[in-house]
Amino acid sequence: MKNNSRSKLSVFALGGLDEIGKNMYVVRYGDDIIVIDSGLMFPEEEMLGIDVVIPDITYLVENRDKVRGILLTHGHEDHIGGLPYILRELNVPIYGTKLTLGLVEHKLREAHLLNQTKRIIVNNRSEVTLGSIRASFFKVNHSIPDSVGIALETPEGTVVHTGDFKFDMTPVNSNMADMHKMAEIGKKGVLCLLSDSTNAERPGFTGSERNVGEALAEIFRTSKQRVIVATFASNVSRIQQVVDAAQDHNRKLAVIGRSMVNAVNISMELGYLRVPPDLLIDPDEINRLPAHKVAVISTGSQGEPMSALTRMAHGAHRKIEILPGDTVVLAATPIPGNEKTVAKTVDQLYRVGANVIYSANSSNGVHVSGHGSQEDLKLMLNLMQPKYFLPIHGEHRMLRAHGQLAESVGVRPENIFICDNGDAVEFFGGKARFGSKIATGKVLIDGLGIGDVGNIVLRDRKLLSQDGILVVVVTLSKNNGKILSGPDIISRGFVYVRESEKLLEEANRIVTQTMEKCANERVSEWASLKTSIRDALSRFLYDRTRRRPMILPIIMEV
């Protein structure tokens, strides 16, 4: 590796701090920039109509000639989901494990980016030189196979990114975490550790995925009719357990939901999912078999309105509906913010007569987290023994809790940096300090539009959703500016026209008076006319209704 003693090492996040999702972390040394992960986040409630949110990569685009590659820790959406959008702006090599790149390739194929994107498969024995930085990888346990942490050796010292992890001593795929390698990295010396904070508030160790397999086996054994299991499509370990339970209890298995079908096909093709050849059935065959011989795995564990499970619960799915006596298992806990939609789906499932097993009413453990709890996090800190510590991947309270854990195992308080997105921590001569703030933000994806919906559009959507809209159409004479027709007032989402004729007649009169006043004062600019109409009508409607609809004047000349 080249050594430029005048260069400083800079570490910061473009996404993933003070939030769950859109993970993207940047390590820069001199003219070499390494990006770790490129995730998306699902929209918050006030982001009306938005499909997904990705990080603002303006900094990377401005420094595109310095970006050596994007390293991926694992194949979850909050770590790879932004790639189809980001690679359009930043066409750099991506590095990931076999399953991670398999899932990425499916996304890139859909986005027509596959042939123009360089993809390099790595494993826990790989070493990759990227300018002055050398990257190596170590296996971690998570809820998807092929998850890794990353060690970046720089001339200033080693930076370790754990990825999402827990310590599972009995993993479903018998793929143990590289604890020896982690200890070796720690023994050589870690300048800075970036570690997953999702469960930093939860005491103890996170349970083993194998516990879920035992709970599912019992459910499959005791259920008299069909068993429908909803989980994340990317939770390949959970899918394997459903496959095993179906096989052990002589049930055929149907896979429902586009993302679930894709995940199962890719995982089987790459050898990460073991499925007996005669186990899977087409959804069309579900109703032809006895109920006690059928199991279904589907999407919808988060109560998404258009997911397979939600449509089944409302009788809107083309292939299957929930019948009284069916057992439905929600093998996932609600992501923060999804509690209401999950509760609505559970309520509807009960309404149609299903037996529902989910985290709130189950003592037998139908879900365990893929993220380490406090004892897991302490173990990682003790293995790595970092000089400096940056908690990542979590909301602010989680980052704070993780910082306290680091202090409890011996990291000096002044060496713990609780950051926001864009806060750069700079290392020079073995010492760390906050550097210049990096511009960050959220890019909103709506349909095919990337970033064309901003705060003003969201504000208008919110206003429309609250008080509706009034469109005022007026036709003026080109010669003398007098009203030839109108004003015509069209109401949508404000009042019901047939029951508010008197109000709209008065509104019509207000507009006419305003136009006449403007004509007398020789105001002829359309912008001024529209502003006058909007102001007068807004005052009148607020006095009468205490509502503020969006008012859209349209003026035409003939």
**DSSP per-residue codes, 294-323:** EEEEES-TT--TTSHHHHHHTT--SS----
Spell out the domains of the chain, with CATH numbers in brackets.
9-204+369-450 (3.60.15.10), 209-357 (3.40.50.10710), 468-557 (3.10.20.580)
- Cα 99 off chain centre by: 19
Locate tokens 């160790």: which residue? 205
Give mean pLDDT, residues 440-464: 65
Residue 41 clears pLDDT 90, i.e. is over it: no
> How distant, in Å, are the alpha carbons of 331, 333, 417, 546 from that of 219?
12, 18, 45, 55
The residue that leads in pLDDT, 443 or 485, is 443
How high is the pLDDT of residue 448? 56
371 counts as catalytic: yes
Give mean pLDDT, residues 212-230: 92
The residue from 326, 371, 402, 423 that is catalytic is 371
Residue 4 clears pLDDT 50, i.e. is over it: no
Per the annotation, does 234 bind a ligand? Answer: yes
Residue 363 clears pLDDT 60, i.e. is over it: no
- Sheet bearing 550-557, strands edge to edge: 483-492, 469-476, 550-557
Q: How far apart are CA 277 and CA 285, in angstroms?
A: 16
Whether the Cβ atoms of residue 175 and residue 139 lie closer than 8 Å to each other: yes
Residue 360 clears pLDDT 70, i.e. is over it: no
Per the annotation, does 74 bind a ligand? Answer: yes
The model's pLDDT over 104-134, given as tens digits with 9 standing for 90+, comes to: 999 999 889 999 999 999 999 999 999 999 9
Give mean pLDDT, residues 475-503: 73
Residue 1 clears pLDDT 50, i.e. is over it: no
Both tokens of residue 408?
Answer: 């409890």
Mean pLDDT of the chain: 87
DSSP SS3 for 99: helix
The residue that leads in pLDDT, 166 or 533, is 166
How high is the pLDDT of residue 469? 81
Per the annotation, does 393 bind a ligand? Answer: yes
Among 10-19, 44-53, 194-203, where is mean pLDDT lowest? 44-53
CA angle 93–95–98, rounded 5-degree value: 130
Per the annotation, does 367 bind a ligand? Answer: yes
> How distant, in Å, are the alpha carbons of 129, 167, 404 from that of 112?
29, 38, 45
Element (H, E) at 531: helix 526-545
Cis peptide preceding 334, ω within 30 of 0? no
282 counts as catalytic: no
How high is the pLDDT of residue 336? 66
The residue from 32, 37, 196, 326 that is catalytic is 196
Q: pTM score, two decimals?
A: 0.82
Q: How far apart are CA 85 and CA 191, in angstroms?
A: 33
Residue 522 clears pLDDT 90, i.e. is over it: no
